Amino acid sequence: MTTTHPTPSRFTTSLPSPLGPLTLVATDAALVSVEFDGRGPLCGAVPRRTPLLAQACAEVAAYFGGRLQVFDLPLAPAGTGFQQEVWAALRSIPCGEVRSYAEIAHQIGRPAAVRAVGAANGRNPISIVVPCHRVVGSDGSLTGYGGGLDRKRWLLAHERGGHALS
């Protein structure tokens, strides 16, 4: 006899932001996705603002309002073990600071995995909360960002006290 485990129910809500609408998806226990422009793995998510999504919306709004630098949300991004390591390293980058892909690779004990770190960074499903925008090229240049380089530039400027889309 095969035992099946039900997939946790997923709930979704949207939130306006200075960078356009965000779509947040969560289970009852954890935030699983924050995406720009309504792009995101809705996967049967039910539109409902649960207590966890209300907390997530409040924290994201506080971040954009300059009143929050560290998120206090339970997270459950779906990914491989390696991706989970990279995403945990991203969460350790202080607000207003950046790290290179090579620095993240060294931090997780895989100095030769710079490209794999870049790929994992690009697959981060929880934008802003898991701050993949804080990762830059080794020379400090802004490199790819799923939300677009204008948004990455804005987020970094916001965290340093400025807010300019250019």
Provide the CATH number for the domain around residue 112: 1.10.10.10
How much is the pLDDT for 55?
A: 97
Position with higher pLDDT, 146 vs 33: 33
Query: For residue 153, is it within any domain?
Result: yes
User: Does residue 161 carry a pLDDT above 70?
Assistant: yes
What CATH number did the domain enclosing 36 receive?
Answer: 3.30.160
pLDDT at 1 over 60: no
Q: Is the dihedral of CA 44, 47, 51, 54 positive or negative?
A: positive
- Asked, for residue 90, whether it belongs to a domain, the answer is yes
**Helix (H) / strand (E) containing 23:** strand 22-26
Predicted local confidence at residue 48, as pLDDT: 79
pLDDT tens digits for 100-140? Answer: 999 999 999 999 999 999 999 999 999 999 999 999 998 88
> Is residue 89 situated within a structural domain?
yes
CA distance 74 to 51: 12
The answer to whether residue 4 is domain-embedded is no
- Same domain for 131 and 85, yes or no, is yes
Whole-number Cα distances in Å, 85 to 6, 24, 25, 112, 149: 26, 22, 21, 15, 24
Indicate which residues carry an active-site annotation: 132
Shared-domain flag, residues 89 and 153: yes
Q: How many separate domains does the chain show?
A: 2
- Report the alpha-carbon distance of residue 136 to residue 42 in Å, rounded: 29
pLDDT of residue 24: 95
54 and 91 within one domain: no
Domain that holds residue 33: 11-64
| pLDDT tens-place string over residues 67-87 | 999 999 999 999 999 999 999
pTM greater than the 0.85 cutoff: yes
For residues 50 and 25, give the distance between their C-alpha atoms in angstroms, rounded to a whole number.
Answer: 10
Tokens of 97: 């600071």
The whole-number pLDDT of residue 91 equals 97
Task: Copy the structure tokens of residue 47.
Answer: 């539109």
